[in-house]
Chain A
Amino acid sequence: MSAHPATAPDGAASRRRLAALFWRFRALRIGSLLAGPVGWLGIVYLGSLAVLLVTAFWTLNEFSGTIVKGFSFNNFKTIVQEPVYRKIVLRTVSIAALVTVTDIVLAFPIAFFMARVASARVKGALIVAVLMPLWASYLVKVYAWRTMFANQGILNWLLDPFGMHVPSSGYIRVWIVMAYLWLPYMVLPLYAGLERIPDSLLDASGDLGARPWRTLRSVVVPLALPAIVAGSIFTFSLTLGDYITPQLVSSTQFIGNVVYANVGIANNLPLASAFATVPILIMLVYLLIARRLGAFEAL
């Protein structure tokens, strides 16, 4: 409601009318706010995903290998029928889950320490310390691990006196490296979530007779669950589609490797797109579950 008299200059008057219009029609306000982001995400992102889905139905000319823009379920048939693709999907999902659980375990102590025990200065320093590795190049970190895993590398040098050896299994190596890479993505949301828990609830739990471990189990963890799930979205999704880490530290194939090998190397975009629908579906399901658990408020 404009309360100013008509002494306002002309430009201001029309602006005021426009503002009044926006104030009166709530939908206009919301719409103008959302037009940009939703338009961008809808057209640019969803549109591209739709294109990807379309290419999954194309095929390849057998001889020249050029793309044929027809409509065929061949690629999906291949993925469903050939057992190797199922094996790879299971392997990838299992390692994504393993990495997520590992990161939760590794992140909890430091997140809890930062949220509830550390002084303000230490807390600030720790946040910086956890964020810093994110600024180190992903590729260089993975290559550093590759060097560390080498037969005559640092890790064997450290482990040999104890009679131990660097794991030769590609799966285990990928697990270690991925757990390492995504750890900060789990620490930060978890820290945020733990910080949000009001002191009053924890005091109340103590007043009701719970020892600290019981409070942790029954009060802290359930309240931090949305944050845990939020962090897990990143660790799970990043592990699900990565092909560079498996390539650099192992010879094991994961979903990302098969997709990349088909699109970037074998020039079989249709098959790659068809196989790419699998992680899309997996993540959509995961996101729906995560939303149900309240993760979206805890990101």
Chain B
Amino acid sequence: MRVSGPARWLLRIGSAITLSFLYAPLLVVAIYAFNDKRVQTWPLTGLSLKWFSKALNNPGVRDALLTSLKVGLAATAIALVLGTLAAYAVARFDFFGKTTVSFLVILPIALPGIVTGMALNATFTQIIKTDLALWTIVVGHATFCIVVVFNNVVARLRRTPASLEDAAGDLGATGLRGFVDITFPQVRSALIAGALLAFALSFDEVIVTTFTAGPTETLPIWILNNLSRPRNLPIVNVVAVCVIVLSIIPVYIAQRLSSDPIGVGARGPGD
């Protein structure tokens, strides 16, 4: 389909508007990270780097960051395993209840976070009667991260023909061998993309975490608690800016690694 010249320009302008909308508040955050006052007034009275050093020296931030990394890695690992298993079943087989599985997988992320959080909290505190700790956070996060991995892997598996695995089987490979040698290399980039997206989801999640964290502080919980403290609010801005800047790396890597763009299969010829 040929898109006409003027249409191209219209699209470019539309995209620019959307991108500016997306980045304007981030710019505001970045500006206030250099604010010299504690209070976020406008216009700024002066610029300062002092909050960066304060952020580095704040033990709460460091602990929260470490906790978030631990939770994110654990939840992503669980989601990778469960999501891939489910994706393989759904993409390669036809069975009764197939749509139900897709439905079930998407439910944790489709239902509002407060529902998931309350449900898990009620189960942990009223039924199992256990203390809320790191593992309860991981359980919550893994549950809604499954779908992210699932979607990516299913999309990729639908693009890769099953015939290769059948051929491997004909050559004597067992199911596991076939998966490791044939399927895995093909879906690897989808796995990475899914893992990165799952990690991002877990890293920034706050509502479900509020209900399942107890006294443990992940980074979003720390931010939530410190948005209330006037002395620490500027540190929050600094932390946010650092996270954004640092995350350019994994997102870029994911983009380069996947031969397909993230979350989708490539357009095949005459698809």
> Which A residues are within 8 Å of any B CB, using their own CB?
2-4, 15-16, 18-19, 22-23, 26, 29-30, 33-34, 36-38, 40-42, 44-49, 51-52, 55, 106-110, 112-114, 116-117, 123-124, 126-141, 143-145, 147-148, 150, 152-154, 157, 180, 183-184, 187-189, 191-192, 195-196, 198-200, 202-203, 205-206, 212, 215, 233-234, 237-238, 240-244, 255-256, 259-260, 263-264, 269, 272-273, 276, 279-280, 283, 286-287, 291, 296, 299
Contact = CB atoms under 8 A, between A and B. Distances in A.
In this complex, which of B2, B41, B169, B207 has the most chain A Cβ atoms within 10 angstroms of its Cβ? B207
In this complex, which of A40, A215, A280, A291 has the most chain B Cβ atoms within 10 angstroms of its Cβ? A40
Given A128-B248, A148-B25, A259 B114 contact: yes
Chain A binding surface, main DSSP class: helix
11 contacts: A37-B150, A51-B123, A133-B22, A137-B204, A137-B239, A141-B29, A144-B25, A147-B40, A192-B263, A198-B271, A212-B4
Contact of B122 (A4, A18, A273): A273
A107 to B, nearest CB: 7
In this complex, which of A16, A19, A48, A283 has the most chain B Cβ atoms within 10 angstroms of its Cβ? A48
B18 A139 contact: no
Contacts of B123: 47-48, 51
Interface string B235-248: 01101100110011
A128 B3 contact: no
A35 to B, nearest CB: 8
Contacts, number: 303
A180 to B, nearest CB: 7
Interface residues of B, number: 105
A52 B207 contact: no
A272 B211 CA distance: 13
B144 to A, nearest CB: 9
B21 A183 contact: yes
Interface string B1-15: 111100110111111
B267 A40 contact: no
Chain B binding surface, main DSSP class: helix
Given A132-B251, A259-B114, 20 more contacts: A41-B143, A44-B120, A44-B139, A45-B119, A51-B122, A51-B123, A109-B11, A117-B11, A127-B261, A130-B22, A135-B244, A139-B206, A140-B223, A144-B29, A157-B43, A192-B155, A196-B264, A198-B267, A212-B1, A273-B122
A145 B21 contact: no
A240 B111 CA distance: 9
B11 A112 contact: yes
Interface in B55-88: 81-83, 85-86, 88
A128 B251 contact: yes
Interface of B: 1-4, 7-8, 10-15, 17-19, 21-23, 25-26, 28-29, 32, 40-43, 81-83, 85-86, 88-89, 93, 95, 99, 101-116, 118-120, 122-123, 126-127, 139, 142-143, 146-147, 150-151, 155, 169, 172, 174-176, 200, 203-204, 206-207, 210, 219-220, 223-224, 227, 236-237, 239-240, 243-244, 247-248, 251-252, 255-256, 261-267, 270-271
Contacts of B25: 141, 144-145, 148, 180
A147 to B, nearest CB: 5
Nearest to A158: B42
Contact of A279 (B115, B146, B247): B115
Contacts of A113: 11-12, 14-15
B18 A109 contact: yes
B117 to A, nearest CB: 9
